Amino acid sequence: MRVRDTGDLWWKTAVIYCLDIETFMDWDDDGVGDVHGLTQRIDHLADLGVTCLWLMPFYPTADRDDGYDITDFLGVDPRLGDVGDLVELVRTARDRGIRVIADLVVNHTSDRHPWFRSARRSKDSPYRDYYVWSATKPPDTSDQVVFPDQEQGIWTLDEATGEWYRHRFYRHQPDLNTANPRVRDEIAKVVSYWTQLGLSGFRVDAVPFFLADTAKSPHDDLEDPHDYLRDLRSFLTRRNGEAILMGEVNLPYEQQRRFFGDDDGDGTADGTELTLQFDFVGMQQLYLSLARQDARPLATTLAGRPTIPHDAQWATFVRNHDELTLDKLSDDERAEVFAAFGPDPDMQLYGRGLRRRLPTMLDGDPRHVRMVYSLLFSLPGTPVLFYGEEIGMGENLAAEGRLAVRTPMQWNEGHNGGFSRAAPSRLPGPVVEDGYAPVHVNVAAQRRDPDSLLTFVTTLAHRYRECPELGWAREVEILDQPHDSVLAHRVTWGDGSMVALHNFAPRAVTVPLRLPDCVPEDDGPAVRLADLLQAGDTELDERGRAELELPAYGYRWLRVVRDGDRRLL
């Protein structure tokens, strides 16, 4: 195994951290987080082991969808700072070994964007075809609405011109028409601009919606929507050879495969479309396993993950900035997860997801929480953290919808959790209260506690970085053992191999393992399993067998060590 091989495809072993500048750190005390505040806190991320910072939208916005309703793709919202501040953030982060990527939200604009303001004034506007219009009243589309509690359909009548415009999300977010080459040129300009200013790529929002109109015009020079995604990836790579596209594609695995650029499904070619895709299927099966205290749903899903192109990667996660979607589970399975982790209807959203963070869903049991994060970092792929996960932040259900998990970052036990000195009424949202309030959960206290969750997640991040097989292994091997509550998996790359054990149940078990390829040679030293999270080794017998103790919600990371191995333990 050559560690230097991991340098070019940096995303395969990155630790990604997502945050909203608005809620991270307010340095000028106006109540809103800002770029300067984030820059001042960049060392927290560096100490944690973050290697890639993902910024949620920071662009000028009408602020009716927490920044996703953009009025200018080439600017920084003045509440947060300016372009010069962002360049300084990128430079400072790079000095700490952290690349920066940002949300690319080009499925739609705000209805206050200059393009749409022009488009709705006249059918002869040069920006009219930047959007999708219908001269006749569309049929009922209530079954296509993304936010069923807010919209009854995806078309809205524009009184000025008497035509309907399409919006798959909110009516104040009209869809861009990617069948129009001029729109695609505008998107390329956005990608080029921010890449030139130092970004290392983008998290692409709502990819299937974004591609929906491409190649549908009779005069379009594209024959397939994926041609556009390939063109965009190629363009980005020409501007910055290390840059990535990390896509939000919540589809079954077989459909996700195409978004990597693997048209024939053999997983052998280099990816030509998205560099990374979020593993929504695996995440949802994880929560089903947690609800049942049964690892088998997740184990079956991991075993069925398709092989993906060599330079592509799965982005694994426990929580993100949206609702915890469970839409790929059956109705009965979703009901099980709701009953376990969100029985109150106020904890649920859109009939398909939860608006809670992990610690509150697990009743604050530190053993259970740590087991899940151990699992996250040990899964083959690139782990993605949502801000505050490293300290075990909770949610505030008093906030509307998905904003329940987008509360201000908790830096210390003081006023507003150290986020801002402004009056609470001026903050972008309410601070978490009750048992997860800043007085109980904050960075400052956990930095000084060797047994804190922050210390533990930092250890996981560093151990993950020391185990490139976790990012580079072509597949995951599910190991046979008798306990339904235990996930035992192994990943191997070159001469590096690691076994991970995780117990989903609140009872201790003894796990027998057999690794047939780890039988010691005649008269040679035994092969052993070196524990990477605690002191001690486990010897394998002459048949490659061992028994390992797992406490309630226990976890073990075990490196296969042979005679002559020179890797640090």
Residue (of 102, 118, 187) closest to 158 by Cα position: 118
Q: What residues contact residue 508 under an 8 Å CB cut-off, 6+ apart?
A: 549, 550, 551, 552, 554
**Which residue in 248, 323, 389, 469 is the catalytic one?**
248
Residue 54 dihedral angles phi and psi, to the nearest 5°: -105, 120
Secondary structure of residue 37 in the 3-state scheme: helix
Buried residues in 61-75 as b, exposed as e (16+ CB within 10 A)? bbeebbbbbbbebeb
In angstroms, how far is CA 274 from the centroid of its own chain?
Answer: 14
Residues 6+ apart with CB under 8 A from 529: 499, 537, 538, 539, 540, 546, 548, 558, 559, 560, 561
Measured CA to CA, the distance from residue 567 to residue 569 in angstroms comes to: 6
Options 66, 158, 205, 323, the catalytic residue: 205
Distance of alpha carbon 382 from alpha carbon 314, whole angstroms: 6
Give whole-number Cα distances, 518 to 7, 195, 378, 469, 543, in Å. Answer: 29, 47, 21, 17, 8
Can 248 be counted among the known catalytic residues? Answer: yes
Give the 3-state DSSP-derived string for 42-80, with helices as H, strands as E and coil as C: HHHHHHHCCCEEEECCCCCECCCCCCCCECCCCCCCCCC
Alpha helices in 204-357 (DSSP H): 207-210, 225-239, 253-259, 280-292, 296-303, 331-341
| Residue bearing tokens 């920066």 | 100
205 is catalytic: yes
Query: What amino acid positions are annotated as catalytic residues?
Result: 205, 248
